[in-house]
Every structure is written in C-alpha cells, then in structure tokens.
A and B are shown apart, each in its own frame.
Chain A
C-alpha cells in the first residue's frame, strides 16, 4: 500500500517539476532555518562539557545598588585598569529620581557573605575574561585570562587534555600556575606537546603551564577564558569600591534546587548593611540587590533587559516561539495553498479511488503521506544546507566562541520537525481532497 503511494508520490513530483521546485525551495529553506535554530539552541544551551550541570548552576554576575533620591544625578564611567573592568555599567533614571549602579562583586563582599550557602554544594568566585596583549616572536596575540579558585574546575567540568587543574595548594600558595586551552597552546607555543611546565609571560608575569584543556564551545562569560590562573595572585582589595569589584560568583545547587540558592542569596543580601557614603563616592545607596540567575536567565537578560532574569527568559522564550511559529506558519500556508490549487489535477484520481473502494480516510492518509514524502525530501535538502552553514559558521567563527554541533539528537529533532511540518501542511489539503464528492470528482478529466 505505502510502497504504492511512495511510487505514485515520486512520479507526481517528477511530473510536476515546477510545483516540486517551488515547494522544495520553500520547505528546505524553512527547515534549514529551523534546523539552524535547533543547532544553535542545542549547542548553546545543551548540557555538555564544561557545563554538564547547566541546570544546577546559579550565576551572580551583577550587584545592583540604588539610591532613591530627589534631584542629584550621578554618573559613572566604565574603566579598564590593567585589563580588568572596574565598572561595567552605571546609569541614572532621572525621571524617578533614582540613581542606580550595577557592577560586579567585590572580593571582600563575596568572601564575607557568600562562602557559606546552605543551599549550595559548591561555589566559585571568578574574575572572568580579562584581556592581555602578548607578543610571541613579535606577533601580537590576545589572551583572555580568567582568575579562578580551586572549586572552579569542579563546577565547570572542562575536558583535561594534559596535566592538572588549578588546585587548592596553588590558590593557597598564590602560585603563578596556568591552565590553558589547547587553542592558546597552539598559538603561544606552536604546539600542544610537551608544554606542561613551560613558562608563559603574560602581563609581565611568568606563569607555569599546569594543564591543557579543551576550550568551551558555547558563549558563556564564566568559561570563555583561554588561560585560567589562581585568583589569589590578584591584590586583595585593589579596584574595589564598597561592595563593587570585578568578581562574579557561580553556585552549584544542592540536589539541583536552584530556587533555594536564589532564595538564600536574596535573603542574605536583604540583611547586608548599607555602606557609608564615604566608601561609595558619596552616594548613599539604600537598596542592594544580588540578581542571582541561571545561565539561561542571565543570557536572556542580555537580550531583553528585565529586573528579573526569569521574566527575561519567559519573554525571550515566547518571542523565540512566536518567531519560529510565524516562520513555520508562512511556508506552511504557502504549501497548503499550493496543494489546494492542485486538488483539481488529482480530482479524477480521487473519484476513481473512491469508486473502487477507497474511503475518505484512505484518501486522507494517501495525500498526507504524499506531502510527508515531499517535505522529507525538502528536509534532507535542508539538512544538507544546514550542515554546510554550520560548517561555514564554525570555520569562520561567525558566532564567536559558539561552536554549532550536529549530533544524533540534532538529526532526530530535525527529522521530527520535518515530519510534523509535513503532516501539518498536508492535513488541510488532504482532508479537502478526502471530502470531494465522487461524482463531482469524476467530472474532471
């Protein structure tokens, strides 16, 4: 039965080259975009090294301090001192007479209040991605350095290719040890072989290479460094103003309960005393907020800025769904329309089939099946285009650190999307065909 339908479907497609061409173009284009979206979401948000525990992590990237005040407007500029960002944003809301400062966390602030969360199994305080210029054989290379502590590599499970991670002893001894990505190793030493124990001169200091890791393939501030060194080598309180500084914190929730971590963080912050204005450039901050977010929430917040990251994620998800929906809807309607216009061509066939014993369901299934075959071919083409575009993006680093991946899950999802698309776009024309009255249908030649 189905082999018969398949044969027929292929012949019909072959005979109507114009229709087939137009349809396949639309279908493969649509599915290419969808598959790229799937590949993007899967690669960026999927759980894999070095963030296998992506759903159990709570990030504290920014501390917000605000002052409700009447007339004064305060301004601050972002500055970079020795490659380290001091304030990354500061702005005023004049209308509401509120001065708000948002920056990263000071080390002392984190040490005093966030070392003992009951809800966190592990935590790490990081100074992420400071950029340094280094000359190797008079060629300039940029090195992105992250200052980390001993639990960093327990929370982020980087793939260790050689050597060891930064240890507690390294932190305690303020050792100039570095764990570097194989990519940086190749740039700096020209090879990844036999470089454990070798020296690297960065920012005027000599670091000993302790380990080589595979670089993270997604965009995520906490993991996008090329060189990881003990944070203890940084001067203790330099660059810190009040509670602000240049650290972020990441917590691994106990039993994956991230809400408990968020709640505990908020609770702690609510009890933190306000600083004397003399320590905060004269601003009398009277509100403090820690803004703990999951990785997805904090990314969503970069796209749609909301106070609450969960809200950003909520809106972003809906916007993405809506865009995908519209993106699928338009070609679906097109395909439905195209199929509808061809009902006439198949009218006599439907009449004959019904006269010879096909019931409406039989016709329905036949035409949906035919449409699925069409979309399946479009899906295969789309998959080829997608793989090509993924390769292109990865080779040209079009998405920065993000390396798009295609694996079994990607293929399964793409296949699923294709079939769903085929069934949906085939259903309306097929049910119209199934309803055609035999005698009317047979009037067409």
Chain B
C-alpha cells in the first residue's frame, strides 16, 4: 500500500544542516494500523508529512497505492490527496469561521459534488464520530475532544483509504484521548482504513498493529 525507499530529508539553513530523516525504509500494508513513536524533534512529523505528500523528501522514493509522485505542486497531487488521504492534526486545525457541518465538508468542496451530496456525506461522517447533534455549532463552542472528533469526521468524509494522524490525542486529556483512540481503532477494524499515527502514548501505540520507533531521524 505504502512503500518508502531510502528516504532522506535535510533542512539547510545558512549556518546549519539538519538531517530530519536518515535513510528511512518502510512498508505499510493495506488495512494496517501503524504507530510511530520517538522523542521530540526526531522526525516523526516530517515522516508523516512525506507519506502524506505534504512535504518533499530530499531524496528517496515513495510509492502510494502503486503511484509514485514526482511533482508535489500539481493539480494531480492535490487530487490524489483529496481522494486517498485523510489528515488529523494535533491542534485540530478547524476553520473557526465555519460551522461543524461546513468544516467537515471541506474536502468535498474539491470534488464535483452537489450541496445535497455533500450534506449527506458530512452527516454520515459526523454520525460515525457521534456528533450529528452539533452540526450547526462553531468550533469555539466545542470541547477539545469534540473538536478532534470533528477533525476525524473531516478526515474520513471523503472515504480515503489512508488516514495520517499526527499526535491526535496530544492536546487532549486521557479520557478524551481514549475516546479518539477508540474511534480510530474502530475505523481501522470496520472500514479497513490504513492508519499511520504518531503518538507519545505507549498504551495507545500498543493497541495498534505495529510500532515504529524513530531516533534522531533513524529507524530503530
């Protein structure tokens, strides 16, 4: 499903050169739930961004669903992300001016769908995270856990086959964090969605199929 070969990522500034990722090789199968752990600054987010086609590796090859990406700034890459990838961020990144319903619909705006179809799909997604009674609320009116559930609904509304979650429970207390984790586990089991999740929580990591540890840009 996802194959990474010899992925390197260097950040160069005038004075220093940082190696964020050092020769990463990774294979993720369809329906797999992979967790990534490691100390702060070891390159977890960088790796996830590269898998999500949000960032370009300095060198190495990446193949997702049999497709290799060469140019990251094209319409095709945008379309590919829209159709196959869903993102969940630590700080939710909901758009404060938009209602829950409109936030969830965001990925669908970049598809050719009618308002009615979008409403329908968003309702289904919100229902699956248990928030169909909060559709007209605005993000500021929600708790942290509720915000992240909206973000999950947004990530799954377009039925992507891969979900990338960067510390999805990082800003939440343990009760809310577990709630979110359960939703992700359920998603993985019931929909066979491939999930890659960065986490700091050993317990959560152990609930996934496989754990990958990073240290200073290298796989352990």
- Whole-angstrom distance between the alpha carbons of A15 and B49 in the complex? 31
Distance in Å from the Cβ of B87 to the closest Cβ of chain A?
Answer: 5
Q: Which residues of A contact B98 (CB under 8 A)?
A: 7-8, 11
Question: Is A195's beta carbon under 8 Å from chain B?
Answer: no
The answer to whether the Cβ of B107 comes within 8 Å of any Cβ in the partner chain is: yes
Report yes or no: A349 in contact with B82, Cβ–Cβ below 8 A: no
Of chain A, the residue at the smallest CB distance from B113 is A1
| Given A3-B115, A439-B49, A357 and B107 contact (CB-CB distance below 8 Å) | yes
A356 touches B87 (CB 8 A): yes
**Given the known A-B contacts A439-B55, A442-B89, are A349 and B107 also in contact in the complex, defined by CB atoms under 8 Å?**
no
Determine whether the beta carbon of B107 is less than 8 Å from that of A356. yes
Query: B78: which of A8, A354, A445 is its contact (CB, 8 Å)?
Result: A354
- Hey, which chain B residues are within 8 Å of A359, CB to CB? 74-75, 78-79
Find residues 55-82 in chain A having any chain B CB closer than 8 Å to their own CB: none
Residues on B with C-beta less than 8 A from A362 are 78, 110
Q: Does A141 sit within 8 A of B, measured CB to CB?
A: no
Count of chain B residues near A, Cβ 8 A = 32
* Interface mask (B48-75 → A, CB under 8 Å = 1, otherwise 0): 0100101100000000000000000111
Q: Which residues of A contact B (CB under 8 A)?
A: 1, 3-4, 7-8, 11-12, 15, 348-349, 351-362, 438-439, 442, 445
B93 pairs with A360, CB closer than 8 A: no
Q: Contacts A358-B110, A360-B73, A438-B54 given; indicate if A4 touches B102 (C-beta within 8 A).
A: yes
Beta-carbon nearest neighbor of B98 in chain A:
A8
Instruction: State in angstroms the CA–CA spacing of A355 and B154 once bound together.
Output: 12
CB-CB under 8 A from A4, the residues of chain B are 102, 105, 109
Which of the listed residues B75, B79, B89, B109 has the most CB atoms from chain A within 10 Å of its own CB? B109
Give every chain A residue within 8 A of B102 (Cβ-Cβ): 4, 7-8
- Chain A residue with the shortest CB-CB distance to B91: A445
Interface centre among A8, A15, A348 (most CB of B within 10 A): A348
B97 near A: Cβ within 8 Å? yes
**B131 close to A (CB within 8 Å):** no
How far does the Cβ of B75 sit from chain A's closest Cβ, in whole Å?
5
**Nearest CB on B from A348, distance (A):** 5
Contact assessment for A356 and B54 in the assembled complex, using a CB-CB cutoff below 8 Å: no
Structural contact, A352 and B74, CB atoms closer than 8 A: no
Is the CB–CB distance between B97 and A352 below 8 Å? no
Knowing A356-B82, A439-B54 touch, does A349 contact B95 (C-beta < 8 A)? yes
Find out whether the CB atom of B81 lies under 8 angstroms from the CB atom of A357. Answer: yes
Apart from A3-B115, A8-B102, A445-B91, 7 more pairs, CB < 8 Å = A15-B97, A352-B87, A352-B95, A356-B158, A357-B78, A359-B79, A438-B55
Cβ–Cβ < 8 Å partners of A348 in chain B: 93
Q: A4-B102, A11-B97, A438-B55 are in contact. Are A356 and B89 (CB under 8 A)?
A: no
Shortest beta-carbon contacts, A-B, top 4:
A357-B82, A11-B97, A357-B110, A359-B78
Report B-chain residues with C-beta under 8 Å of the C-beta of A12. 97
| Interface flag for B39 (CB, 8 Å) | no
Of chain A, the residue at the smallest CB distance from B76 is: A359
Q: Which residues of A contact B82 (CB under 8 A)?
A: 356-357
Contact (A355, B110) CB under 8 Å given A8-B97, A445-B91: no
Q: Which residues of B contact A354 (CB under 8 A)?
A: 54, 78
When chains A and B are docked, how far (Å) is the Cα of A8 from the Cα of B102?
9
**Chain A nearest CB: distance from B183 CB in Å?**
19
Give, as a whole number of angstroms, the nearest-CB distance from A8 to chain B. 6
- Nearest residue in A to B73 (C-beta to C-beta)? A360
B119 to chain A, nearest CB (A): 12
Does B106 sit at the interface, judged by CB under 8 A? yes
Taking CB atoms, residues of chain B closer than 8 Å to A1 are: 109
Instruction: Give A3 to B114 CA distance when docked, in angstroms.
Output: 12
Complex CA gap A171/B89 in Å reads 91
B96 at the interface (CB under 8 A from A): yes
Asked if residues A355 and B96 are in contact (CB atoms below 8 Å), the reply is no
- Which chain B residues lie closer than 8 Å to A11 at the CB level? 97-98
In Å, the complex CA distance between A12 and B95 comes to 10
Residues of A within 8 A of B89 (CB): 352, 442
Closest Cβ neighbor of A351 among chain B residues: B93
Task: Tell me the smallest distance from the CB of B148 to a CB of chain A, in Å.
Answer: 14
- How many angstroms from the CA of A353 to the CA of B97 in the assembled complex? 14
A137–B30 alpha-carbon span in the complex (Å): 103
**A8, A12, A355, A442: which has the most chain B beta carbons within 10 Å?**
A355
A-B contact pairs, 15 of them (CB 8 A): A8-B98, A11-B97, A11-B98, A352-B87, A352-B95, A356-B107, A356-B110, A357-B107, A357-B111, A357-B158, A359-B75, A361-B75, A362-B78, A438-B49, A445-B91
Q: Mark B111-131, 1 if CB is under 8 A from A, else 0.
A: 100010000000000000000
A4–B102 Cα distance when bound, in Å, is 8
**B residues near A351, Cβ cutoff 8 Å:** 93
In the assembled complex, the Cα of A439 lies from the Cα of B87 at a distance in Å of 12
Q: Is A356 in contact with B97, judged by CB distance below 8 angstroms?
A: no
B106 touches A352 (CB 8 A): yes
Residues on B with C-beta less than 8 A from A360 are: 73
Residues on B with C-beta less than 8 A from A7 are 98, 102
Name the residue among B49, B85, B95, B102 with the largest chain A CB count within 10 angstroms. B95
Q: Which residues of B contact A356 (CB under 8 A)?
A: 81-82, 86-87, 106-107, 110, 154, 158
| C-alpha spacing A353/B110, complex, angstroms | 9
A38 to chain B, nearest CB (A): 35
**Chain A residues within 8 Å of B54, by CB:** 354-355, 438-439, 442
Which chain B residues border A353 with CB–CB below 8 Å? 106
**Minimum Cβ distance to chain A for residue B71 (Å):** 12
Q: Which of chain B's residues has its CB closest to A1's CB?
A: B109
Minimal beta-carbon separation of A265 from chain B (angstroms): 64
Q: Which residues of A contact B87 (CB under 8 A)?
A: 352, 355-356
- With contacts A1-B109, A358-B110, A362-B110 known, is A8 near B93, CB below 8 A? no
The docked-state distance in angstroms from the alpha carbon of A338 to that of B54 is: 28
- Cα–Cα, bound, A354→B106 (Å): 10
How many Å from the CB of A293 to the closest CB on chain B?
57
Which B residues are CB-close (under 8 A) to A349?
A: 93, 95
